[in-house]
Amino acid sequence: MDFAKLDELINRLKTKGFLNETELKRLNHEFMVNNTYNSNAIEGNTLTLRETALILQEGITIAEKPIKEHLEAIGHRDAFEYIMCLADTETELTERIIKEIHSLVLINDAKNKGIYRNIPVAIIGAANTPPQPYLVPFQMKKLLRDYKDIKGEKHPLEAAAEFHLSFEGIHPFIDGNGRTGRLILNLELIKAGLLPVNIKFADRYKYYDCFDHYYNNQHSTEMLTELIAGYEVDELERRIEMLEKQKA
């Protein structure tokens, strides 16, 4: 993939100055609410964007919606805030960090949060079968080791996409893999000087197809890389436009 447009936008953004602390905090909060809604909706959470905002901003309980779905919103918010702290310090991605992110995501499941799965799993309709549970610790260590090499060889966005595809293929946890994986994806994008992306519920079938493409085409990351790059371009253009209006 040609990253020329993406890199040009990154360089343009660097020349536009910065948002002040209050503006950046508000922008990150709005992104967090949207990201929480979309990431949870992809996994079957039925809260609307408005309901998600009410829970996270006002602490309101939505009648007739399960407590589990409320906790999923709160857990994702806490995990998002955690990755933003990690990104500020450019913390290296480790198994401990991954488990800590998962622990926040799976706030409603004390027995399984932050713990690799102990049973085999199958992803219905997927092109791959996750490894047996006894292989998960080994494969996670290998993934993190390989990722260091990948980052040295590929564009950071493509490297983050490849990590995400591999992570979801291992499916290390009994639940919460998708939400955890997308948070890690954003952590790695931010650490690389990019903006976080919001994979939308409306695009979930395109997103699912990226995994089938990866496993049916000799681990080609092209489709997911293009999907993420499209989101990244949109975020960069929006941020540049915002800063230009600020100066006008």
Catalytic residues: 171
Contact 144/99 with Cβ under 8 angstroms? no
Contact 108/75 with Cβ under 8 angstroms? yes
Distance CA 205, CA 14 (A): 34
Contact 198/31 with Cβ under 8 angstroms? yes
Distance CA 18, CA 21 (A): 9
Distance CA 73, CA 70 (A): 5
Contact 4/234 with Cβ under 8 angstroms? no
